[in-house]
């Protein structure tokens, strides 16, 4: 009932671990699969190791989760070894993920991560990096997206997924530019910029002051982004952002998503949230007489 084909690869269900949630280790990603995820995305890797931001870096409320971890990671060389290990202990689809500060650096880190047996490669152009070439954040710049997509496609041997930002006022145009430049899929979306303030301390809670908002507050924003992008491109979409229930996941599919990224839901429901969500999806589908997800993909249009 929930089996999904994404870029010619079969997933037992459409729920995939979103990047940045459970780290880089093979053991943590295998644990997610054992708890019901259909696939996993590794935490984004950079060309060299990064320590990220000082604590506090994250907090959550009933309505939202905010983080400014700062893209901490062990670097692509160490990450590749964990990805290789994962594939020796788990056959589930594996999405690599990278970020960089310039188009050439995106190409370099993308080429190196392909030394691992990843099935797809997600390119995080939606973190707040500013390129000297364009003077704008990559996620808002059509020329930057086109250049990065072309450079990455030229050096990789797996399908390329461009991860976009909900902060971009022109996200549909960005998605179209990525498709035209050769992207195989879109992830929509990353977190939206926000802030939390401790009224007693009279200062922002995060050391970085601002951070990325995920959780339930992001869901309607992400849903509209998926809906709008689906109308504009022919390549598949990984709908990501605030999905915490099976009903949310089905709504994302009706908006046009093929896979569903699940991240902050683990904060609210534990790693077993994947099984909870797929059970709810199947229950609703049976109640509504839906035999497969293909029947309802894009049905809200």
- Cα separation, 93 vs 72, in Å, equals 24
Average pLDDT score over residue span 173-189: 98
Q: Please check whether residue 9 lies inside any domain of the structure.
A: yes
3-class secondary structure per residue, 19-47: CCCCCCCHHHHHHHHHCCCCEEECCCECC
- What mean pLDDT do residues 38-48 have? 96
Note whether residue 226 is domain-resident.
yes
- Asked whether residue 300 is assigned to any structural domain, the reply reads no
| Residue 48 pLDDT exceeds 50 | yes
In a domain, 128, yes or no: yes
pTM above the 0.85 mark? yes
Q: Measured over all CA atoms, what is the biggest interatomic distance in the chain, rounded to whole angstroms?
A: 54
Mean pLDDT of 95-103: 94
Q: How many distinct helices (H) and strands (E) make up the chain? A: 9, 16
Angle in degrees, 0-180, between the axes of helices 76-89 and 26-34, rounded to the nearest 10: 40
Q: Is 276 in contact with 243 (CB distance < 8 Å)?
A: no
Least confident interval from 22-31, 252-261, 272-281: 22-31
Q: Is 220 domain-assigned?
A: yes
Share of the chain above pLDDT 90, in %: 89
Q: Which of 90, 114, 127, 225 is catalytic?
A: 127
Q: What is the CA radius of gyration of the chain?
A: 18
* Phi, psi at 54, each rounded to 5°: -70, 155
Judged by average pLDDT, the poorest of 75-79, 108-112, 137-141 is 137-141
| CATH code where residue 224 lies | 3.20.20.70
Q: What distance in Å separates the CA atoms of residue 221 and residue 154, rounded to the nearest whole number?
A: 33
Q: Is 269 exposed, middle or buried (0-12, 13-18, 19+ CB in 10 A)?
A: middle
Residue 301 located in a structural domain: no
User: Which residues are bridge partners to 142 per DSSP?
Assistant: none
DSSP state of 139: G
Determine whether 10 is exposed, middle or buried from the number of CB atoms within 10 Å of its CB (0-12, 13-18, 19+).
Answer: exposed
Tell me if 248 sits within 8 A of 280, measured CB to CB. Answer: no
User: Encoding tokens for residue 70?
Assistant: 């700062």
127 is catalytic: yes
Please say if the pLDDT value at position 130 is more than 70: no
Q: Quote the number of domains for the chain.
A: 1
For residue 24, give Cα distances in angstroms to 44, 46, 201. Answer: 8, 12, 34
Domain that holds residue 283: 4-295
């Amino acid at each position: 009932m929930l089996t999904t084909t994404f870029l010619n690869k079969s997933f037992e269900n459409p729920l995939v671990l979103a990047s940045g949630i459970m780290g880089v280790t093979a053991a943590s990603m295998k644990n997610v699969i054992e708890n019901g995820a259909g696939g996993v995305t590794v935490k984004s890797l950079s060309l060299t190791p990064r320590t990220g931001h000082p604590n506090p870096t994250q907090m959550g409320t009933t309505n939202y989760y905010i983080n400014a971890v700062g893209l901490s990671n062990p670097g692509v060389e160490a990450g590749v070894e964990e990805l290789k290990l994962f594939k020796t202990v788990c056959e589930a689809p594996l999405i690599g993920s990278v970020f960089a500060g310039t188009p050439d650096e995106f190409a370099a880190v993308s080429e190196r991560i392909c030394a691992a047996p990843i099935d797809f490669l997600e390119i995080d152009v939606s973190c707040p990096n500013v390129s000297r070439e364009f003077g704008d954040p990559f996620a808002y710049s059509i020329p930057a997206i086109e250049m990065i997509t072309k450079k990455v496609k030229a050096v990789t041997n797996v399908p390329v997924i461009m991860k976009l930002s909900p902060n971009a006022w022109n996200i549909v145009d960005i998605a179209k530019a990525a498709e035209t430049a050769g992207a195989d899929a879109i992830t929509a979306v990353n977190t939206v910029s926000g802030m939390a303030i401790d009224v007693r301390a009279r200062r922002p809670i995060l050391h970085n002051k601002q951070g990325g908002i995920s959780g339930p507050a992001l869901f309607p924003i992400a849903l509209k982004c998926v809906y709008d992008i689906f109308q504009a491109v022919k390549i598949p979409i990984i709908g990501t952002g605030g999905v915490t229930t099976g009903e949310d996941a089905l709504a994302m599919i009706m908006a046009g998503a093929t896979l569903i990224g699940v991240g902050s839901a683990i904060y609210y429901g534990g790693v077993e949230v994947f099984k909870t969500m797929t059970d709810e999806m199947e229950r609703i589908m049976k109640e509504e007489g839906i035999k497969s997800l293909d029947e309802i993909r894009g049905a809200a249009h």
